[in-house]
Amino acid sequence: MNFFVNIVPVRSLLSLALLLLTVPLAQAVENTTSGYNLGEITVTAERLDAYIRNYPQQVETVGSREIAERHLATTEEVLKTMPGVEGYQSSGSGSRISIRGSGRSSGVLVLLNGRPLNSNQYGNVDLNSVPVDQIESVTVFKPPVPVWLGSGGSDGAVNIVTRAAVLIGEGEQANTTLKLNGGSYGFVDGSLIRTLELFSGSAHITAGAAYQDGKRNNSDRDTGSLALNWNRETQSGDRYTLNSRYYEAEYGSAGPIDNPTPDARQRYRKGALDFGYAAILGESGSLEATLYGDLTTLRDRSQSGAIATLDEQKTGFKADTTWTPEDESWEGRLGVISEWDRIDQTLAGEHERASFGLSGQYDRRFGAWTTTLGLRGDNSSDFGWHPGLTSGIGWGVRDNLLIRVKAGYRVAVPSFSQLYQSAHGSIDQTRGNPDLKEERIWSYDLGIEYRPVKDVSLQATLFRNDTDDLINYQRGTDLIYRPVNIAGAWREGIELTGKLPLLVGLTSETSLILQHSENSATGKQLAYTPKLKIRQTVQYLIPGTKARLEGTFNYEGERYSQIENFATQKLGGYLRIDLKASTPLPVPGIKCDGYVKIDNLFDRRYQVHAGYPDDGIRFVTGLQAHF
């Protein structure tokens, strides 16, 4: 828990960052008694931005307008536009998310309109089940995350908010958007979204299908989806929402090069239904409640020909109340969540987990100072009670300079696949461990944010995570992966981000992470935790037009795929360059635009996992038309 243990290099880097920030500050900013503009502190779904400005928390947000303008086709692509955040489609049904250089995707809490999406089976989430066409915003909370978001989230949280359908005026036609994409390796993708009046409210209906392949044998993937997002607001201000989703995928599981599975296949299906209600409570309160359910089925055919099936049912209820006085000097928030989850897997049998959680958070504003304290308690039927904590202080030194300090504690309960038999990927590759203990994680960060002028921002953040009984995978001589507890582990570093307009229409965004990680028992580096990550994005909006050019440069240092850090487990560092161009298209009577994207321009065959080389250069082109 000692934040300053073993971080002399980190202290030196922070001192350098503070020096670089204070020099222009002394030259450009006059002395003033006014504080940093922390904004409003009322928390509702529509006013999340105000909460972000007030809370001493480092967050990143991308909205629907940017998603459309930059032709971001998946939620993973949306995540990759944020500094310090990565998102990739895994070889199976889930998505791999990394926040601030962490190598563990299972530690990221993912929510849809405030309700958790993470599967108790895998611990991660399949982002493709949420159509990007229905997304209003994606917000990333870097650790330690607020307790009201939910349990878990030791490595950060992602909150996806869906778009509210707009009521259609009398005599107006419903809005329709068509998207078509195609590219290398036989990639083809299409989606249709329609806005219409429905049951005295408005709805978005989205349907899509895609096919893609890769260089390796048995790496093809077919997907299809259908989603409905409906909302209705009464004259009294009450709001009702209904979000239903169906997603299906059939794909190969190629396996690593040293243990290939060219005949292993999976078929994944997931249906979800969420019903939400929001209302105003008195003059200063608000209520948001969601009743939700997920139904997942998975059929796994291993290389040996054995068939395993998985059925998972999850139901839950989450409610949050928020209270803020008229002068907005403080905010209180109380929340409750209850879930029931059941799995039935061919090799592992039937297992159930019932969980219940309570959270309370109080934020107080004293002029230029903002403090927060949040507590939560969670109980699961198989691991008992465990606490959660978030605390922080934000100091608006000046109108454009903010300093924040945060600390938090979380407990992560093992997923069903870690405890028992995993059907994720192929049953020829992984096994469970019923003797696993829950993880206990302390997180800290110290950050400074400087905004000298409009559209210019600089941030420097020191961070550290200490984890007892960290769950990681160990590979045996039989080439099977098994989860084990690491008695103690830590990760610390500095994150530097900046946004700077260079010329008219030309902007540059930079994200740099320098970190060190260690297995306390062995002194070895943690898996998938590189010491250096750099991303540079340059965007150019051609003056007088709506044509946009974008280039992204990604560098990731060497890292290890396993906890032993053997030479055969080392993944080399790499530099990857991606390019994108988009422009409106002159189609009479239709608003239409197209784009061209090239990923991995110089065909770098780097390794994303041991034995999993990247496919190399990829080309995609597409268009979207609005009727």
Taking Cα atoms as reference points, which of 277, 266, 265 lies closest to residue 240? 277
Q: Alpha carbon 507 to chain centroid distance?
A: 24
Region for 521 from its dihedrals, namely left if φ exceeds 0, alpha if ψ lies in -120 to 50, beta otherwise: alpha
Taking Cα atoms as reference points, which of 566, 569, 577 lies closest to residue 536? 577
Task: State the CB neighbour count (10 A cutoff) for residue 478.
Answer: 8
Residue 126, pLDDT above cutoff 60 = yes
Q: How far apart are CA 36 and CA 28, in angstroms?
A: 16
The band of 425, judged by pLDDT with boundaries at 50, 70 and 90, is: very low
Please compute the mean of the pLDDT values over residues 458-475 and round it to a whole number: 92
The neighbouring-strand residues paired with 288 are 278, 320
Of residues 561 and 184, more confidence is placed in: 184
Q: What is the pLDDT of residue 167?
A: 56
Of residues 278 and 423, more confidence is placed in: 278
Q: What is the pLDDT of residue 57?
A: 65
Taking Cα atoms as reference points, which of 499, 469, 497 lies closest to residue 485? 469
Which residues, in sequence order, are CB contacts of 421 under 8 Å at separation 6+? 308, 345, 347, 348, 427, 431, 432
Q: What is the pLDDT of residue 50?
A: 47
What is the identity of the amino acid at 552?
T
Q: What is the pLDDT of residue 103?
A: 80
Tell me whether the omega of the peptide bond preceding residue 144 falls within 30 degrees of 0, making it cis. yes
pLDDT tens-place string over residues 188-221: 999 999 988 888 888 989 999 999 998 889 999 9
Q: What is the pLDDT of residue 169?
A: 54
Q: What are phi and psi of 53, to 5 degrees?
A: -65, -30
Which residues, in sequence order, are CB contacts of 589 under 8 Å at separation 6+? none
Q: How far apart are CA 172 and CA 545, in angstroms?
A: 29
Taking Cα atoms as reference points, which of 511, 425, 516, 441 lies closest to residue 473? 425
pLDDT tens-place string over residues 9-67: 444 433 333 333 333 333 333 333 333 333 333 333 344 444 455 555 678 889 988 99
Of residues 95 and 1, more confidence is placed in: 95
The residue behind tokens 């309370």 is 360
pTM to 2 decimals? 0.87
Residue 403, pLDDT above cutoff 60 = yes
Cβ atoms of 596 and 607 within 8 Å: the answer is no
Q: What is the pLDDT of residue 583?
A: 93
Q: Where are the beta strands (DSSP E) in 184-238?
A: 188-198, 201-212, 221-233
Task: State the CB neighbour count (10 A cutoff) for residue 185.
Answer: 16
As a whole number of Å, the CA-based R_g of the chain is 24
Taking Cα atoms as reference points, which of 553, 561, 527 lies closest to residue 102? 527
Please compute the mean of the pLDDT values over residues 413-430 and round it to a whole number: 73
Which 3 state secondary structure label does DSSP give 419?
Answer: helix
DSSP-assigned letter for residue 526: P
Q: How far apart are CA 37 and CA 135, in angstroms?
A: 28
Which residues, in sequence order, are CB contacts of 90 under 8 Å at separation 6+? 96, 105, 124
Lowest mean pLDDT among 145-154, 337-346, 607-616: 607-616
Task: State the CB neighbour count (10 A cutoff) for residue 50.
Answer: 17
DSSP-assigned letter for residue 430: B
Cβ atoms of 403 and 14 within 8 Å: the answer is no
Of residues 179 and 55, more confidence is placed in: 179
Q: How far apart are CA 257 and CA 314, in angstroms?
A: 35
Residues above pLDDT 70, as percent of the chain: 87
Q: What is the pLDDT of residue 123?
A: 60
Q: What is the pLDDT of residue 476?
A: 80
Of residues 259 and 158, more confidence is placed in: 158
Q: What is the pLDDT of residue 305?
A: 85
Taking Cα atoms as reference points, which of 115, 82, 108 lies closest to residue 94? 108
Q: What is the pLDDT of residue 174?
A: 55
Task: Give the DSSP per-residue string, 124-141.
Answer: SB-GGGS-GGGEEEEEEE
Lowest mean pLDDT among 30-44, 246-260, 288-302: 30-44
Lowest mean pLDDT among 110-119, 403-412, 577-586: 110-119
Tell me whether the omega of the peptide bond preceding residue 116 falls within 30 degrees of 0, making it cis. no
Please compute the mean of the pLDDT values over residues 507-534 and round it to a whole number: 94
Cβ atoms of 446 and 143 within 8 Å: the answer is no
Taking Cα atoms as reference points, which of 29, 89, 73, 3 lies closest to residue 446? 3
Q: How long is the chain?
A: 627
Q: How far apart are CA 605 and CA 253, in angstroms?
A: 19
Q: How far apart are CA 475 and CA 561, in angstroms?
A: 10
Which 3 state secondary structure label does DSSP give 94?
Answer: coil
The domains located in the chain, with CATH, are: 8-626 (2.40.170.20)
Q: Alpha carbon 583 to chain centroid distance?
A: 28
Of residues 255 and 207, more confidence is placed in: 207
Question: For the chain, what is the mean pLDDT?
Answer: 85
Please compute the mean of the pLDDT values over residues 345-370 and round it to a whole number: 91
Q: How far apart are CA 187 and CA 204, in angstroms?
A: 26
The neighbouring-strand residues paired with 575 are 555
Residues of 446-463 as b/e, b for ≥16 C-beta within 10 angstroms?
A: bbbbbbeeeeebbbbbbb
Using alpha carbons, list the distances in angstroms from residue 151 to 99, 241, 258, 338. 17, 24, 37, 11
